[in-house]
Amino acid sequence: MAERPKILVTQKVPDPAYPLLEAIGDVEANQEEGVIWPNDELLRRGPGHDYIYSLLTDNIDARFLETCAAGTPRLKMVANMAVGYNNIDVDAATRLGIAVSNTPGVLSDTTGDLAFALLMTTARRIPEAERYLRAGKYKGWGPLLFCGAEVHHSTLGLIGAGRIGKIMAKRASGFDMQVMYYDVYRMTPEDEAAYHMTYMPMDEVLKQADFVSVHTPYMPSTHHLISTRELSLMKPSAILINTARGPIVDEKALVKALQSGTIAGAGLDVFENEPAVEPELMTMENVVILPHIASASLKTRTLMATMASDNIVAHFHGQRPPNIVNPEVFG
């Protein structure tokens, strides 16, 4: 019988994830909800585990991986409970023979729902209007009171047309929106027709869209993909939505664009230096900000949690993890 592996779960996750892990190994878990171990604590606890169950807020860098690879038992796999894995040095993991997995697919619809909700609430100034009402300032209906932007029949520009981008296009069709997109990989004509999407160069998407929604993965080539030049191409009435990754948008450039009226507003679920947010964004009435909750439905987060566990269980049984990021380490 194989020796029971040692598994470290770095943050509190939905309960159904744990029995899957406990069935195969000895689990050490951070059970303090909302507590993220700092780098030195993570580095102290990591060595001596076969598997690390991580989240996107954990810094799984080369130093951490090398330290854990030198431990006994040796680290075999990092299972990230997230679609993105830019928090993990995958090149270092591959060099050390450590498998890395993620949890794609299950959160696409939920994230698309939140992205479209963010578009709607920003356009119609809903949080601003609610704050006004709660503050006791409402004295009666007025013809100019909180007039916002039209959503129906407007133009949605997507930067990135993967799973979530396509879902946004489907949501937009219910509002009779014209949808244009830019992606490094252009869709087939059949898919463009099916999703009612028109391909355009990125600059044209920025120039023509009433709403620009970011759905590209974060990688070195997309760092500050949206910065001063790109924001200057957008309409003064346009609204930027970002539910992808914070560093895709140059946050300081966005602040300046909002302050100067270069664009009309922004809806943000992610930030460049999370959990820190540019202080000016916190005070702007034309910005809706959320604490990275795009996938935060109980059903979706539970599916993500059990998927991460399933990846570990598969590896333990000598099977290729369903969502392995670096399959070359698995032979």
Angstrom distance (rounded) from CA 148 to CA 88: 41
Per the structure block, which two tokens stand in for 27? 């689990």
The CA-atom distances, in angstroms, between 102 and each of 41, 126, 134, 242, 266 are 23, 35, 41, 21, 29
Q: Is 274 in the active site?
A: yes
From 95, 124, 292, 320, the catalytic residue: 292
Angstrom distance (rounded) from CA 25 to CA 22: 5
What count of other Cβ atoms lies within 10 Å of the Cβ of residue 201? 9
From 49, 245, 301, 315, the catalytic residue: 245
From 28, 204, 274, 278, the catalytic residue: 274
- Of 60, 96, 106, 107, nearest to 80 by C-alpha is 60
Yes or no: say if 311 and 89 are a contact pair by the CB < 8 Å rule. no
SS3 161: coil
SS3 186: coil
Q: Is 152 in the active site?
A: no
Q: Is 41 in the active site?
A: no
Burial group, residue 110, by CB count within 10 angstroms (0-12, 13-18, 19+): buried
- Which residues are designated catalytic? 245, 274, 292
